[in-house]
Structure 1
Amino acid sequence: MNRLDNKVAIITGGANGQGAVEAELFIAAGAKVVITDINAEAGQATAARLGEGCTFLPHDVSLEQDWARVVETTLELHGHIDILVNNAGIFRVLTLEETDLAVWNQSVAINQTSVFLGMRAVAPAMKERKAGSIINISSIAGLTSAKAHAYCATKWAVRGMSKSAAVELGPHNIRVNSVHPGFIDTPMLDGHGVPREQLVARVPMGRTADVIEVARLVLFLASEDASYCSGHEFVVDGAIKA
């Protein structure tokens, strides 16, 4: 179940946290994984820990030329690209009035433009294979509201972009889905500026999620077990109350 034998995946933001766990799970399922990140030191350490199935490439996901280099290098290394996980992102707890233009532009560049650039960059290679799976990591904030204006706006955008791409790329047997995590036990959770116990109080299951619980869903969507799943939102939130 959920095997990725002979598949090649690119995972952005893979140096640590959710991306690194996804990479580890993918490799265990039989894939070759290219993790990318702006943090070269952490990325190299993660790739060394995960072994020969993993390669690290430095990558600013907001830059078109970096995407071209990552795709070209991946094809040189492995010959094809089967999976893209757009995992990189930033989270700033700022209201509408607190958000200046610099913060807005940075949020759009990393959380939204990177998803556009990534999908566009891998599409030709996937079309050539007549198959592919793109998983865009959004957030529960991409389905509801949050006191983080730019973050919420960009994560809603990722949802819509995924649906649009799924329709466009579907005739080429390329699936596109968005994943919407709730309160996940990563350092980003502390960026809410709210004590964890207050966040947990909103979750009927009474706990935050472990990163592996998101990674397992991403693995499912990457695999052929999800061969007819495209254009949809997959939520991992423990039934968060608004």
Structure 2
Amino acid sequence: MGRVDGKVALVTGAASGLGRADARLLAAEGARVFLSDVNEDQGRAAAKDIGTGATFIAHDVGDEAAWVRVMATIEDAAGGLDILVNNAGVVQLASPEDCTLADFQFANRVMSEGVFLGCKHGLRLLKKSAAASIVNMSSVASHIGYPVFFAYTAAKGAVRAMTKSIAVHCQASGYPVRCNSIHAGAIETPMVQFAQGRTDEAPQAIPESGILPPDALGTPSDVANMVLYLASDEARFVTGTEFVVDNGMLARAAS
């Protein structure tokens, strides 16, 4: 307990899935957490479920004016920001030939431009922190060709590259801000259920502990645990790095 005591965190896309799990764990470990999402009903329910120390803010991550407003709200309410988790994401089923320009632009607006805007406007507060951390949610899709998720793959590849540039920029500028990316494999979330055509099925029951077989899906807590580590001061010597949380998927693909 208390691994992020006294820190202020913002988690985007926190109404469900990975973002909700991230926000819950950060709050449990002592952070004051702001959850943001375009889904206001689910977002407010998530903040209420977490309880004390959790606040919901309606937020479209692709809207620059919204980022300015969110950062001003956090500064007014909490005085600063120590942790930024750029988690908001969408997925569309379309190959390079089937993907429309509108679909491509939408995916990149949320996951590429959204991460850029989060880092750009978040740094105004983060660089005033004693020790700050940006965690950008990428994907194993940035390492493997997934033509059926073409726009998603392109956006996550941009996140992977931006993360390293932001990390080096912060060091060169003397900012006390680390920046790392997480590359998760298939995690049992509403997004993965949609991608696998299981939206009408109940979520799979996955053990919260113990070793999983190669074909198993992970749980949101598997990713949240990595977010917590990177957000905490335990990771003070870690920046510009990509963390793969995929139960060996990339290793098997390379063999």
TM range, smaller chain: over 0.9
Amino acid at match of 2:132: G
Contact 2:129 2:176 in 1 (8 A): no
Is there any run of 5+ residues in structure 1 with no aligned partner, and where?
197-202
Farther-moved stretch of structure 1 (187-196 vs 32-41): 187-196
Asked if 2 retains the 8 angstrom alpha-carbon contact of 1:59 and 1:70, the reply is yes
> In structure 1, the residue corresponding to 2:178 is in which secondary structure?
strand
Structure 1 moving runs of 4+ over 4 Å:
none
Equivalent in the alignment of 2:50: 50
Q: How many residues align?
A: 236
Asked whether the equivalents of residues 7 and 82 of structure 2 are also in contact (C-alpha less than 8 Å), the reply is yes
SS of 2:128 mapped into structure 1: helix
Q: Are the equivalent residues in 1 in contact too, given 2:186–2:192 (CA < 8 A)?
A: yes
Distance 1:206 1:42 in 2: 30
1:190 aligned partner, one-letter code: Q
Distance in 2, Cα, partners of 1:187 & 1:130:
36
**TM-score normalised by length of structure 2:** 0.89
Q: Secondary structure at the match of 1:176?
A: strand
2:234 aligned with 1:214: no
Match of 2:61, SS state, is coil
Q: Report SS of the residue matched to 1:18.
A: helix
Residue 128 of structure 1 and its aligned partner are, at CA, apart by 2.0
Shift of 1:226: 0.5
**How far apart are the structure 1 equivalents of 2:233 and 2:23?**
17
CA contact (8 A) 2:2 2:30 kept: no
Q: Normalising to structure 1: TM-score of the pair? A: 0.93
Residue in 2 aligned with 1:205? 214
Which structure 2 residue ranges, 5 or more long, are not aligned? 202-211
Aligned to 1:156: 157
The sequence identity of aligned pairs, in percent, is: 40
Instruction: Kindly provide the amino acid, as one letter, of the partner of residue 165 in structure 1.
Output: I
Match of 1:75 in 2: 75
Show the counterpart of 2:65. Answer: 65
Tell me, yes or no, if structure 1 residue 36 matches structure 2 residue 39: no
RMSD, aligned CA: 1.6
Deviation sequence 1:140-185 (CA, Å, 0-9, x none): 0012211211111110100000000000012312100000000101
Partner in structure 1 of residue 140 of structure 2: 140
Is the 1:138–1:155 Cα contact (8 Å) retained in structure 2?
A: yes
Q: Which residue of 1 aligns with 2:185?
A: 182
- Aligned counterparts of 2:239 and 2:247: Cα–Cα separation in 1: 22
Q: Contact 1:163–1:176 at 8 Å: present in 2 too?
A: yes
CA distance in 2, matches of 1:19, 1:207: 21
Render the CA deviation track for 1:118-137: whole Å, top value 9, x for unaligned.
Answer: 00111121222253100000
**How big is the shift at 1:205?**
2.6
